[in-house]
Structure 1
């Protein structure tokens, strides 16, 4: 087997992953694109391990570590996406500019105003949450 074939396939996979990270707005699609990029790296690691005929199979061991890290990354990433969706009702990456809860309006402060007096309807809404 020639080394150029897996290297070209890995380069194509990595390019598709980079495009997905840069062009997509959905957080789940961004995570899938990161996985494509990691799989391209795994393909290169295994291909070079076979090409160099390493007796310790260092490329395959590093591939297993990469797969474990990718599984942990996906688990944490999906947990974060679910929490963001519960709070914001969207997983659009462009709309998630700030980490503060609320409308994301920088002009808005959390100081109580005249409409936020105790006993208002706003207190009923907060109690219902």
Structure 2
């Protein structure tokens, strides 16, 4: 098989993943798009190995798979926490540090009152 076919397939997968990361608002779909991009890189590494007849690309592909598994675990934990806090996983509605937050009631008056009563 010619190396052009896997390389073009990898380029299409990477482009589709990049489009998904940039355009999707759902956090789970963004994680899936990142996985597509990582799989495209794996395909390029293994294709390069077949051309050079070495195994270094396959070893790197194995490391990419391990990193992708860790990324999925951490990413899904973050998405689950976001859903529990907001009841929505829309990434456009995630509060950033620059945005003002609702003022939380301070516990200091309660502590001061408890000290006066004692």
> Which TM-score band (shorter chain)?
0.7 to 0.9
Q: 1:64 to 1:79 in 2, by over 3 A?
A: same
Q: 1:98 to 1:13 in 2, by over 3 A?
A: same
In the TM superposition, what is the alpha-carbon distance from 1:63 to its structure 2 partner?
0.5
Distance across 2 between alignment mates of 1:23 and 1:97? 19
For residues 1-129 of structure 1, what are the structure 2 equivalents within 5 Å? 1-54=1-54, 57-98=55-96, 106=100, 108-110=102-104
1:34-54: per-residue Cα shift (whole Å, max 9, x none)? 000000000000000001111
In the TM superposition, what is the alpha-carbon distance from 1:111 to its structure 2 partner?
5.4
TM-score (norm 1): 0.77
1:9-42: per-residue Cα shift (whole Å, max 9, x none)? 0000000000000010000000000000000000
Higher-helix-fraction structure: 2
In the TM superposition, what is the alpha-carbon distance from 1:72 to its structure 2 partner?
0.5
Moved more, 2-11 or 25-34: 2-11
The CA RMSD measured in Å over matched residues stands at 2.0
1:42-86: per-residue Cα shift (whole Å, max 9, x none)? 0000000001111xx000010011001000100110011001110
Query: For 1:98, what is the secondary structure of its paired residue?
Result: coil
Specify every segment of 5 or more residues in structure 2 that has no aligned partner in the other structure, as ranges.
111-118
TM-score (norm 2): 0.84
Q: 1:108 to 1:79 in 2, by over 3 A?
A: closer
Specify every segment of 5 or more residues in structure 1 that has no aligned partner in the other structure, as ranges.
119-129
